[in-house]
Structure 1
Amino acid sequence: MTPLKRTLLLTGMVGLSLAAAGCSTKSNADQAGKSKELTVVFLPGDSAKEATAARTALASEIHKATGKKVNVKTTTDYNVAIQAITSGKAQVALMGPDGYIQAHKQNSAVKPILTYSGKSGTLKDAQYHSYVMVPKAKAAQYKVNGKYSLNKIKGQRMSFVSNTSTSGFAIPAGAIQTAFKLKSKDDLQQNNKFFSKVLFGGSHQGSAVNLLKGDADVAAFDDMDLVQYGKFTNDSTKAGADFKVNADAPAPFNSVRGKESIALAAYPVQNEPLVVNSKGVSQSDVNKIVKAFTSKRVANDPKFFAPADAKVRGLFTKDGKTQFIGISDKWYAPTHKVLGE
């Protein structure tokens, strides 16, 4: 679970009264690109204080590419970010795959233009991982025939990220639904249905802290949003993955330093996109943004791709030849299929 994810900026929250999305018209199309300002909205995980330098870098790069003033909109709720980009209140967004697909479903003008590669520098391994985790001290209780399993999570206290998070809800909830042959995911979001209690951390960090503080027995979160706070001590791609919080981890992990969690299951997730609302960003500006972000200069900039042990958080973690790559909605066909959208 996200990375992704800024002096030319307004860091205050943009007003949340969002204009209703209208029908596509020639007038709307003509307005795309005419505004002298762009607003970029970020999900809660990328809105944290420690991600300020990364947000500044992204917004500054868009400014340099387009010549337009760039405002930053941080959020504490996934739905606010989705509503901002679909309504056109924001014209650019860094989103999770599920958040993008939900936004695209509401407004087809929302389109992905970039994602980041895997270690190979290509899209072949452009993925991260979603986990269903439990505290290490209690992990053995969830084994079935010597292997970690989801079979014993029913009735426990569960923490998800947000019901619009790909790796923090959609993927793990889908896996739980399949494992227990549930009719829908609805019961997974309510207390005293499948789980005795259901929490939403609001971010991957928040969900992990719910688990490590003892407020939840089981939690869903991803790796990309956690590696700035700790590290995996073994294979992070499968059940049994052991995540340990760093001894000097900053807030919100300062109260759970040194604690560990074990994955009952791990699921691959397509990397997150940078998206635009094409009614507010011209194709010319899109081309300029893609050209700038796919440059070697950006690929080698630690504000975008920082080493895992960097003291200042980058937008994403540098691993091998990690770089931005231009994409379209077609690349997300596998996620569309998984989510049924």
Structure 2
Amino acid sequence: MKKLKRILLGVVVMLVAVVTAACANKSTGANSKDYTPKSLTVEFVPSIAANKLEGRAKPLEKMLSAKLGIPVHVLVSTSDNALMEAMKSKKVDVGFLPPDGYVVAHKQGAADVLLQSERFDIKQPGGRWTKTLTKSFRAEIVAKKNSKIKSWKDLKGKSISIQSPTSTAGYIYPIAELKEKGLDVPKSCKLVTVTGHDQAVLNVLNGDTDAAFVFEDARNKVLKDYPKIMSQVVPIYFTKARIPNDTVSVIPNMSKKFQKKLAQAFIDISKTKKGHALIEQVYAHEGYVPAKDSDFDTVRKYEKIVKDMQNN
């Protein structure tokens, strides 16, 4: 009986050792300087209800797995910050980060940019989608057509619908450019924070605010319900600088060889009928192109202008 107990104890010890070694190997692999994943974890930031996004994004697992030859797991994060932390701790290999989120994550050593998404460009006047693909976009300021606001110079003392202070189009770019022109928006205007660029447009339409900072051309988001929106709410300013589109970012220690393979997999998938339909449904992406960190220098420049304004 004692002999049997010793044998069983030995088996348990061996199992614990095997599991511990396996976990250690996994941790070591993820933290190695030339990390090649044996399974890949991809995480999205919610653009719609998390459960809906995860359901839409799940088919990407099979598509990527077929291209890479390894298991792929697709998850949905609770926020930009949560995704950054997950990449920083090497729990997530690939993250779909917005431009401002990428800049912060890169500064923290959590992410390197791999690809930028492409979307259809906008043609003005009229704010209609074109068939030209672009990896950047502009922010715009809109006001009611019959108002006295005809240019950025008329915004002083007016109320403006904005997004959160981390929003590139809904805050950072318009604030920074107008500061360079001589208008300190936070000090000179009444700012009203709203959730969603569509709501910002409707605030102007309904007279809740005099103007709004939105992406070009956010009026399309409400066009179905408000067919006359293009003539009722009009752009009075477009940012000079263009904002980089969303990124596909990876943890910095991922091997260059695997990064190249991964980038090509995303590009190839986006060009298939099913793959294109998926990325369009998830994030309104039309395709992906290679990107470099310097593509985000304008984001850094404008964020610094805004930060300096807050500190003064």
Distance of 1:88 and 1:162 partners within structure 2: 28
Q: Is contact 2:137–2:245 with CA below 8 Å preserved after alignment?
A: yes
Deviation at 1:294, TM superposition (A): 1.9
Asked whether the 8 Å contact 1:130–1:168 carries over to 2, the reply is yes
Instruction: Work out which of the residue numbers 281, 288, 291 in structure 2 matches 1:324.
Output: 288
Query: 2:286 aligned with 1:293, yes or no?
Result: no
Indicate if the aligned counterparts of 1:40 and 1:59 stay in contact, CA closer than 8 A.
no
Question: What do the CA deviations read for 1:16-67 (whole angstroms, capped 9, x no partner)?
Answer: xxxxxxxxx998226944563514131x435577766753455554444442
- Per-residue CA deviation, residues 175-230 of structure 1 (Å, 9 max, x unaligned), is 22223344xxxx72xxxx433243142x4345445444554332222137765x35
Say if 1:33 and 1:171 are closer, same or farther in 2 by CA, change over 3 A: same
The 5 Å alignment of 1:148-163 reads 149-163=151-165
Which amino acid counterpart does residue 204 of structure 1 have in structure 2?
Answer: H
Paired residues of 1:302 and 1:314 also in contact (CA < 8 A): no
Q: From the superposition, tell whether residues 225 and 219 of structure 1 become closer, same or farther in structure 2 (CA, over 3 Å).
A: closer
> Is the counterpart of residue 222 in structure 1 residue 215 in structure 2?
yes
Residues of 1 paired with 2:264 and 2:181: CA distance? 44
Alpha carbons of structure 1 residues 181 and 194: separation in structure 2 relative to 1, 3 Å:
closer
Query: In the aligned structure 2, how far is the partner of 1:209 from the partner of 1:52?
Result: 29
Match of 1:175 in 2: 177
User: Which amino acid counterpart does residue 137 of structure 2 have in structure 1?
Assistant: Y
Q: Does the CA contact (< 8 Å) of 1:78 and 1:165 recur in 2?
A: no
Correspondence 1:84-95 to 2 at 5 A: 84-95=86-97
Asked if the contact 2:119–2:285 (Cα under 8 Å) also holds between the matched residues in 1, the reply is: no
What SS does structure 2 have at the residue aligned with 1:114? strand
For 1:73 and 1:29, how far apart are their aligned partners in 2?
A: 25
When residues 59 and 226 of structure 1 are mapped into structure 2, their CA distance, relative to the original with a 3 A threshold, is farther
AA matched with 2:76: K
- C-alpha distance 226-284 of structure 1, shift in aligned 2 (>3 A): farther
Relative to its length, the structure with more helix (as a share) is 2
The CA distance in 1 between the partners of 2:52 and 2:228, in whole Å, is: 20
Residue 129 of structure 1 corresponds to: 138
Where does structure 1 lack aligned partners over 5 or more consecutive residues?
A: 1-24, 144-148, 231-244, 248-255
Q: Does 1:28 align with 2:8?
A: no
The 5 A counterparts of 1:207-218 are: 207-212=200-205, 214-218=207-211
Q: Give the one of 315, 318, 327 matched to 2:283.
A: 315
Q: 1:98·1:165 contact (CA, 8 Å) conserved in 2?
A: yes
Identity of aligned residues (%): 19
Which amino acid is 2:72 matched to? Answer: K
Q: Return the offset for 1:103.
A: 1.8
Normalising to structure 1: TM-score of the pair? Answer: 0.61
Change (3 A) 1:177 1:277: same
The within-5 A match list for 1:158-307 is 158-182=160-184, 188=186, 193-201=187-195, 203-212=196-205, 214-223=207-216, 227=220, 229=221, 245-247=223-225, 259-260=229-230, 261-267=233-239, 268-279=242-253, 281-295=254-268, 298-301=270-273, 304=276
Change (3 A) 1:223 1:53: farther
Alignment-derived partner of residue 116 in structure 1 = 117
Q: Which amino acid in structure 1 is aligned with residue 193 of structure 2? A: L
Select the structure of larger CA radius of gyration.
2
Counterpart secondary structure, 1:325:
strand
Distance of 2:278 and 2:58 partners within structure 1 = 14
Distance in 1 between the 2:197 and 2:227 partners?
16
Name the SS of the counterpart of 2:141 in structure 1.
Answer: strand
In structure 2, relative to structure 1, the CA distance for the partners of 1:200 and 1:118 (3 Å cut) is: closer
Shift of 1:290: 0.7
Choose 126-135 or 52-61, whichever is displaced more.
Answer: 52-61
Distance apart, 1:111 and its partner CA: 0.7
Aligned residues: 263
The residue that corresponds to 2:127 in the other structure is: none
- Number of the residue aligned with 1:142: 149
